Structure 1
């Protein structure tokens, strides 16, 4: 048994030895060096929590759901039980530096890297999964791809109401200092059901589910995709774009060996990917600070001293140097440019169980959902100007 104190869920507990081993792998501990919200701490200084704490939270919430189902006399075989907890713990193992921002650079989503790490026989994670159960690796692969033979298992890990979203709302809102993610998660878990092989919730939990979806909407609008947060994040994009530009012209003076595959727009090997974290990238940003190129120096200065790009009216960009577009100024569509936290599709909608044992989709019974305040399309769609 191992206990870990958590500031959001209070306690994280490990009973199974193989899960403790997964927690202690170098691949998992790397997540402690990856900020959960990228550069959001430029705007919200408290947002310095990492992917490791989030992964632990997702694991603990999954364990709470499983305990509830077992109390309901739902039969869960050992392989499924182990695979769910391992998948919850490892669901974000493929995140790169600065989390979702890295996906903008590598053009590869973190889910693909997660599968690469889990299936690469050179990783400690792969070895532990294979040694624990010869079918466990395959089961984890299927769950992370949403292809497990039990629908409720896939829904628990990835759906409109899943353990991932539940934890990041609780955790992110706590660290940015906002109340949008204050959700009665224990009440939600108490009202969770498995009906006809699908994850459902009692009608008593509708208000809690609505609060969760409203919270996600407000976190999207105020934090994740706010103009100010995009103004911070765009610097990271500009930095790599300028670095690639100078690399192709052979005008870089310092050594950037570890990220040359990125500059060449090549897919990173598992080994090279695992060598990257926030600290690595900060080292390159500091190196770039001494480059002679004034634009790269300017971007690096803003990043190092936490100066975000200026949000301005589109008209203010009319007289900007066209050669610097995409490096020091840019027009950004708030709806499409940084869509890191979009809503799930209808195939993953939450199901509600009524007292008459009828199951309905949440959108068919919720006034809040019917007015679509949770729909990503309701976020601002106009373009803004950003410049440094």
Structure 2
């Protein structure tokens, strides 16, 4: 038996109404310094510079994922019957802590440190010096390892991996609804309640009753539209490019800004350094760079702080690109070309069993979603598109 809180703790949430906490280990993890740090990490990277209300954090999203998993493991009979209490605790902790390793400005941090956020998350969970590790091991000596295994998608009970990471997982369901709400868009809305009511487990696979298929179709289209309309917004990319170019310049000049020294080539960032690195610290560094002797570094710091974004042209003609290049003196820093493929963001793919959403038919048989849905069958025929953009100083 795992210790429970004296009473069920509730946290108000705009997406789920309330977040319910009944286990002490969950409450302890929420109050750990590593989890509290997520208050200071935006959920959407550079999108808060495009959608002015998108100020929500990884903290809120992580609580939302936890709440969906809490409901899945308490309200869906076939899930409840397939796991014991210890396994439930494992997947609840994995849901809560799955984004612990995200750095400032979302995936930008991964790009300049060459480390995946899941790898950092596992390091923090397994490090005996972190508060979150101490919270987990206090509840059960094997809990840190089991949680790490779920995050790495290698837990021996496959359904636990699927709840956290699959085509229809709690992570995606929360971030689509939350990001749509916080950006003020309607692209990401779908019927979460209907999906939760129709989720089942059969043959160790998460699946959806045939009666819930239309809700899943809406979910798939919501994901597709959110990627192209929000997550891949060209102005958000422009902001991230400014940060990328700032650090390119910083690494090339002989100037020291203390908070940015951990980004020097060859420096291995420790867990303690990572925990201290949040967006507040990054903005402090950018403010220090306003007084740099280097004009280019100073300019990029100003652009980042005052939102002086690069202009952009999508799929430019040869003449358009030449016109832009002819008027830019420093092309190394003030001209940037990107190529985005929709291959990674196709609404749905069925390359293998793990990437398939399974439908439980009225005959109690499992079938791939594409065999039951004409809409999804058509979506699978979509071809990947590539969009090229040039970014440049205005």
* TM-score in same-fold range (> 0.5): yes
**Partner of residue 163, structure 1:** 170
Instruction: Kindly indicate whether the alpha-carbon contact (under 8 Å) linking 1:173 and 1:182 is maintained by their aligned counterparts in 2.
Output: yes
**Partner of residue 273, structure 2:** 272
* 1:119 pairs with one of 90, 112, 126: 126
| Long gaps (5+) in structure 1 | none
Instruction: Kindly indicate whether the alpha-carbon contact (under 8 Å) linking 1:129 and 1:136 is maintained by their aligned counterparts in 2.
Output: yes
Instruction: Kindly indicate whether the alpha-carbon contact (under 8 Å) linking 2:127 and 2:133 is maintained by their aligned counterparts in 1.
Output: yes
Provide the C-alpha distance between the structure 1 equivalents of 2:381 and 2:91, rounded to a whole number of angstroms: 28
**Partner of residue 241, structure 2:** 234
* 1:210 pairs with one of 217, 228, 233: 217
When residues 387 and 342 of structure 1 are mapped into structure 2, their CA distance, relative to the original with a 3 A threshold, is: farther
Deviation at 1:260, TM superposition (A): 1.6
**Partner of residue 107, structure 2:** 100
When residues 340 and 92 of structure 1 are mapped into structure 2, their CA distance, relative to the original with a 3 A threshold, is: farther
When residues 297 and 199 of structure 1 are mapped into structure 2, their CA distance, relative to the original with a 3 A threshold, is: same
Instruction: Kindly indicate whether the alpha-carbon contact (under 8 Å) linking 1:65 and 1:189 is maintained by their aligned counterparts in 2.
Output: yes
Deviation at 1:334, TM superposition (A): 2.2
Tell me the secondary structure at the aligned position of residue 383 of structure 1.
Answer: strand
Deviation at 1:71, TM superposition (A): 7.1
2:362 maps to 1:355 = yes
Provide the C-alpha distance between the structure 1 equivalents of 2:348 and 2:299, rounded to a whole number of angstroms: 36
Provide the C-alpha distance between the structure 2 equivalents of 1:237 and 1:321, rounded to a whole number of angstroms: 19
Structure 1 range deviating more: 315-324 or 1-10: 315-324
Tell me the secondary structure at the aligned position of residue 357 of structure 1.
Answer: coil
Provide the C-alpha distance between the structure 2 equivalents of 1:339 and 1:282, rounded to a whole number of angstroms: 31
* 2:337 pairs with one of 310, 319, 331: 331
Provide the C-alpha distance between the structure 1 equivalents of 2:344 and 2:277, rounded to a whole number of angstroms: 23
Provide the C-alpha distance between the structure 2 equivalents of 1:383 and 1:134, rounded to a whole number of angstroms: 51
Provide the C-alpha distance between the structure 2 equivalents of 1:164 and 1:72, rounded to a whole number of angstroms: 17
Q: 1:345-385 CA distances to partner (integer Å, 9 max, x unpaired)?
A: 6323211100011111123322222223796x64x513111
**Partner of residue 384, structure 1:** 389
2:100 maps to 1:83 = no
Provide the C-alpha distance between the structure 1 equivalents of 2:282 and 2:348, rounded to a whole number of angstroms: 30
Provide the C-alpha distance between the structure 2 equivalents of 1:42 and 1:102, rounded to a whole number of angstroms: 17
Provide the C-alpha distance between the structure 1 equivalents of 2:118 and 2:112, rounded to a whole number of angstroms: 15
Aligned pairs, how many? Answer: 378
Question: Root-mean-square deviation (CA), in Å?
Answer: 2.2
When residues 2 and 361 of structure 1 are mapped into structure 2, their CA distance, relative to the original with a 3 A threshold, is: same
**Partner of residue 61, structure 1:** 68
Task: State the TM-score, normalizing by the size of structure 2.
Answer: 0.90
Tell me the secondary structure at the aligned position of residue 352 of structure 1.
Answer: strand
| Long gaps (5+) in structure 2 | 1-7
Instruction: Kindly indicate whether the alpha-carbon contact (under 8 Å) linking 2:78 and 2:200 is maintained by their aligned counterparts in 1.
Output: no
1:13-32 equivalences in 2 (<5 Å): 13-32=20-39
Deviation at 1:151, TM superposition (A): 1.4
Q: 1:8-65 CA distances to partner (integer Å, 9 max, x unpaired)?
A: 1110010001110000000000000000001211111011100000000000000111
Deviation at 1:304, TM superposition (A): 0.7
Tell me the secondary structure at the aligned position of residue 160 of structure 1.
Answer: coil
Provide the C-alpha distance between the structure 2 equivalents of 1:339 and 1:101, rounded to a whole number of angstroms: 17
Q: 1:222-274 CA distances to partner (integer Å, 9 max, x unpaired)?
A: 1111222212221111111111122xxx1x2xx42333231224331101111
Instruction: Kindly indicate whether the alpha-carbon contact (under 8 Å) linking 1:193 and 1:201 is maintained by their aligned counterparts in 2.
Output: yes
Structure 1 range deviating more: 327-336 or 101-110: 327-336
Provide the C-alpha distance between the structure 2 equivalents of 1:245 and 1:163, rounded to a whole number of angstroms: 42
1:121-270 equivalences in 2 (<5 Å): 121-246=128-253, 250=254, 252=255, 255-270=256-271
Task: State the TM-score, normalizing by the size of structure 1.
Answer: 0.92
Instruction: Kindly indicate whether the alpha-carbon contact (under 8 Å) linking 1:37 and 1:99 is maintained by their aligned counterparts in 2.
Output: yes
Provide the C-alpha distance between the structure 1 equivalents of 2:334 and 2:200, rounded to a whole number of angstroms: 52
When residues 342 and 305 of structure 1 are mapped into structure 2, their CA distance, relative to the original with a 3 A threshold, is: farther
